[in-house]
Amino acid sequence: MSPPFDPELAVVRFGTGLSPRHPPPADADAMLRRLSGPDVIAARLPIPVFAAQTPTVAELRALNRARRAAGSEGAAQEAYDTARRAAGAAADRQLMTLLARAAATPDGLRERLAWFWADHFALQPRNGFTRHMVEPFVEEAIRPHLAGRFGAMLTAAVTHPLMLDYLDQSRSVGPDSRLGRRTGRGLNENLAREVLELHTIGVGGPYDQTDVRQFAELLTGLVWNQDAGTEFRRNMAEPGAETVLGRVYGPQPSLAGVTAALEALAVHPATARHVSRKLAVHFVAPEPSDALVAAMAGTWDETGGDLGAVVSALLAHPDAWVLERRKVRRPVEFVAAALRALDLPADRLLALSQRDVRRFARTPMAAMGQSWGRPPGPDGWAEDEADWVTPQGLAARIDWAMRVPVHLTQALPDPREFAPVALGSALSPEVSFAAEAAESVPEGIGLVLASAAFQRR
């Protein structure tokens, strides 16, 4: 029996919203074909990978050293300030590129999955040197693996320079390593704990503090060299074999041992259950059915963590297509869906000045509760509706809806025609009347975008 596929729900629940330009997919297979095909929108609207993003972290740190050596004034300070401004401008352009992709893509599922997995491996810049490196991290560690193996994504994300920097892995030293014996430096368990608690097995899973410590010892030697990238330094690695969840890695420390442990964690049954439920919670409902989670986790186990197959199992299950929209759009989803419904061209969005990107996207999203690129912790953004439906957050959404669209285009659509485009079958008689009775076009557009129905998916 085929699932009750709903084209409108497909783009609202699993994509970036309804569009007057891009028709909904005909079926789930069409969604999966696009997901497994070329990343067309990323090629059209590129974001540099980590090593190619300028200014580089090495450049910023070198300029900072020169500034501190020369004092707080003069050419060295000016050069540092210029580079910092360039990093901020790069981060703002990346945000607008992300929103432009969501507005212009025929493959909304890919964008939503990229956001989900970026949140699953949530990190934030620790200082001004890396604030423009979060999207490059997503670009090279997350996007290539959206329909691939979870083990490959996990390895790419956990060993990425930005993750190592965020969780202080480069400071973790095996107590009995050559460096540890000489300096007295010791373990940092941050990365090991987050991988087990958040990225794989999950809190309450079948591991204990001994597993955390042994895994932390296995990870010693994994560091970020700002000139050479991720590397493994044997003089920092704890000697001897390590046992994590009953599997032995060794007898000597190596990058291969780290990779083997990550691959084993990626296919662990507890990982399958934990991450499958997290996917279902994010896309479908705060309390997804046990049957849906079991179907996804079973596919995970059968395929060794093939994420394309797991998404297929999600889309194939009837419980994924319940009509009630029980999830609230996060601020990035709300803004992206609004830009998409307004059919704003990507080139127009990318032509916005940095000041306007901040006025119309970054600052309003922060007021709505989502400071993009700075999640509250390694567990990412909240899934609970109560975290987004707050007086301040709703006021910020209404303000954006009423104020911003007219600044983005002078050719706003007729609100009476826009309402069914933006809301589809969720358009109520009350919102339809409000759109028709509005005193101005911007007001009518704002009333549609501020409606309760537009906040939900």
For the stretch 408-453, pLDDT in tens is 998 999 999 999 999 999 999 999 999 999 999 999 999 999 999 9
Confidence band of 369 (pLDDT split at 50, 70, 90): very high
Mean pLDDT computed over every residue of the chain: 97
Residues 6+ apart with CB under 8 A from 369: 331, 387, 388, 390, 392, 393, 396
Confidence band of 209 (pLDDT split at 50, 70, 90): very high
Q: Please, what sign has the CA dihedral across residues 173, 177, 183, 187?
A: positive
**Overall average pLDDT of the 344-366 stretch:** 98
Confidence band of 3 (pLDDT split at 50, 70, 90): low
For the stretch 227-255, pLDDT in tens is 778 999 999 999 999 999 999 999 999 99
User: Which pLDDT score, from 0 to 100, does residue 372 have?
Assistant: 97
**Overall average pLDDT of the 131-154 stretch:** 98
Q: C-alpha distances in angstroms, 197 versus 152, 159, 167, 283?
A: 19, 17, 14, 21
User: Which pLDDT score, from 0 to 100, does residue 71 have?
Assistant: 82
Tokens 């707080």 belong to which residue?
Answer: 72
User: Which pLDDT score, from 0 to 100, does residue 4 have?
Assistant: 84
**Overall average pLDDT of the 319-345 stretch:** 98
User: Which pLDDT score, from 0 to 100, does residue 2 have?
Assistant: 57
